[in-house]
Chain A
Amino acid sequence: MSATFPELNSYGTLVSFALSLEQVAEARAIAAGDERVARKHQKRARQLEQIFRERLNEVVLQPLSGLDRTAYLPADELDLAALEALIARFYDDAATVAAEVLIGVDRTFRKWAEESRGF
């Protein structure tokens, strides 16, 4: 899946947006020579792929509102630390909406938000 940042209007787009952020973060971490952080983002991407495939069934599919994609777009000039801060903010907000229907995934998002703040 290539890095695209769709409008955040469904749980599918929420997870694919997260996946794109992780792909960008992995690339920036590699460019910055930080392999540990790159591996973390790679691992998250794998987990997101699983969430994408295994958690989004028709019982939980519903429209999503309240998240503005432009608030989480990773500008090219962001350094890795600033990007991690943006990712942490995204997961904080995503966890709030995920708590409605993707129960359990919200905890993962909160954990990742904490983790990104610590990078």
Chain B
Amino acid sequence: MLPEVKKHYGKVQNYYDGEFVDSETDRWLDVVNPATREVIAQVPCSSRDEVTAAIDAAQAAYEEWRMTPPNIRVQPLYRLKTLMEQNYEKIARVLAQEHGKVIDEARGSVRRAIDNIEFACGIPSLLMGETLVDGAAAGIDEEAIRVPLGVFACVAPFNFPAMVPFWFWPQAVACGNTYVVKPSEQVPLSQTFIFELIEQAGFPDGVINMVHGDRVVVDALIDDPRVKGLSFVGSTPIAKLLYAKCAAAGKRVQCQGGAKNFLTVMPDANLEAVLPNMVASFFGNSGQRCLAGAVLVPVGDRADEVVEKFVAAAKSIKLGYALDPTAQMGPVAAARHYDRIMGYIQKAIDEGATLLLDGRHPQVPGYENGCFIGPTVFDHVKPDATIVREEIFGPVVAIVRVKTLDEAIALANTSAFGNASAIYTTSGKAAREYTYRVDGGNVGINLGVAAPMAYFPFGGMRDSFFGDLHGQGKDGINFFTDRRVVITRWV
């Protein structure tokens, strides 16, 4: 067992204007280790005044920061990358402890956070504008230059607490904006630890800030006209709500919502080679990934074999505490979430699905009180069943058998969500057909977690994304800058 960084992290602080600040709120929430249900910290539900103070700091820093040349703006990002490499294991362990994701997954998400810093370090090249000599007329040149907008903010989810803020703020800041991060109040510790590194990296005061809390913080960010844009990752109802509120307030907005991802297995799939990948898609991060497989769709006459092998592989997954390096799956992230998933399992039983593998109440020695739910698999689920339509966000698989690829694509496209989708096949034609017709933002070919790297936009369609420009990649540059057209005539 790897050691915990700390047993208890005390009262978590906010960070703004270049300082860690004790919250003055009288509302505090417990941060709970989901493997033990022990309280490991308290997080403040910060007040509107505290959010305003963070925005004041960000606004005050903005003018000087935007006038700092891009090659200088990225220097603290380089230093932060080095600091995060040096503290890589420590961040991963704090994250594993607060969230429950197993240590390999925690390390992987820290890596992705660092990837995004690296991408943002390339801003001097990425931020270049466009120029056309004689673009307007003979002797009159035209150019479009990129300009930052001001203060941006993000509201982060509970499933990737260390990584998701990095989809946004390094780019935003490198583009010349200033920023406020609101971590998930359920899992604020890894982000707070990262802010200790941010403090060491030497950003000017107010350029990057963090305020903990609940919806009071979110509302205050949206209500403040100085906040020019918001990035959100979370559930669809909240994504929809924030999208509407931000649009009404004239802000830029990108809101990633929920998901229900279909994994289609063609009869020609190389099952032996792809089975571990399929299993990892459904059960990695205990199913709490917006890219996780949720519905398994075996096509044609190999369905029995696919289901049998899939269930056998799922059965062999080892549950355990995230800091046990041999654990393959940890608990779900919170008691409230645990109850919700258990409710969905019961609902599937009530609706008549065949329970092939029951993950309720697994034995995890030493962690009897933990929020553990083992791999759970339902077969012969009807396409309109609740567990096919609604996002569960846990290790629960619905199997819907179909006869043809057309049927599989039609099934995936009936979902309200359009986050991710995958096909397992050895046929290029089938893969091409699937990619072309399936209505999802991230598609995997023989890959169950089609997670875009920092230099690609993180896709999402229909009820999985509200906005125009996605997080990461060049979409991010467009989101965090506007284009000013300059037409020049020298006389």
Contact = CB atoms under 8 A, between A and B. Distances in A.
Q: Do A and B bind each other?
A: yes
Interface of A: 1, 4, 6-7, 9-13, 16, 52-54, 56-59, 61-65, 100-101
B111 A6 contact: no
10 contacts: A7-B326, A12-B107, A12-B325, A54-B111, A57-B108, A58-B108, A61-B104, A62-B280, A63-B280, A63-B328
Contact of B325 (A16, A54, A58): A16
B318 A9 contact: yes
Contacts of B103: 12
Given A13-B326, A56-B108, A57-B112, A62 B276 contact: yes
B307 interface: no
Question: B88, B89, B276 — which one has the most chain A CB atoms within 10 A of its CB?
Answer: B276
Nearest to A69: B326
Interface in B86-118: 88-89, 103-105, 107-109, 111-112
A31 to B, nearest CB: 27
B447 interface: yes
Contacts of B279: 62-63
Given A58-B112, A61-B104, A100-B276, 20 more contacts: A1-B89, A9-B326, A10-B328, A12-B325, A13-B325, A16-B325, A53-B107, A54-B111, A56-B111, A58-B108, A58-B284, A59-B450, A59-B451, A61-B280, A62-B280, A63-B279, A63-B316, A64-B276, A100-B273, A101-B277
A114 to B, nearest CB: 26
Nearest to A63: B276
Contacts of A11: 104
A111 B336 CA distance: 50
Contacts of A6: 325-326
B313 interface: yes
A61 B451 contact: no
Contacts of A62: 276-277, 279-280, 284
A51 B316 CA distance: 26
A47 to B, nearest CB: 15
A58 to B, nearest CB: 5
Given A6-B325, A6-B326, A56 B317 contact: no
A4 B323 CA distance: 14
Contacts of B105: 58, 61
Interface residues of B, number: 30
Contacts of A100: 273, 276
Interface string B154-187: 0000000000000000000000000000000000
B449 interface: yes
B281 to A, nearest CB: 8
B112 A53 contact: no
A52 B107 contact: yes
Interface in B274-311: 276-277, 279-280, 284-285, 289
B447 A53 contact: no
A61 B88 contact: no
Contacts of A10: 104, 326, 328
B375 to A, nearest CB: 11
Contacts of A101: 277
B85 interface: yes
A112 B451 CA distance: 31
Contacts of B273: 100
A18 to B, nearest CB: 13
A12 B105 CA distance: 9
B325 A56 contact: no
The 3 closest A-B pairs by CB, nearest first: A12-B104, A62-B280, A62-B276
Nearest to B111: A57
A94 to B, nearest CB: 16
Question: A6, A13, A63 — which one has the most chain B CB atoms within 10 A of its CB?
Answer: A63
A52 B317 CA distance: 22
A9 B111 contact: no
Nearest to B107: A56
Contacts of B111: 53-54, 56-57
Contacts of B451: 57-59
A52 B111 CA distance: 10
A9 B85 CA distance: 25
Nearest to B276: A62
A53 B88 contact: yes
Nearest to A15: B104
Contacts of B325: 4, 6, 12-13, 16
Given A53-B85, A53-B88, A100-B273, A61 B108 contact: yes
Contacts of B326: 6-7, 9-10, 13
A59 B318 contact: no
A51 to B, nearest CB: 12
B329 to A, nearest CB: 9
A59 to B, nearest CB: 6
A111 to B, nearest CB: 24
Nearest to A53: B88
Interface in B303-361: 313, 316-318, 325-326, 328
Interface in B245-289: 273, 276-277, 279-280, 284-285, 289
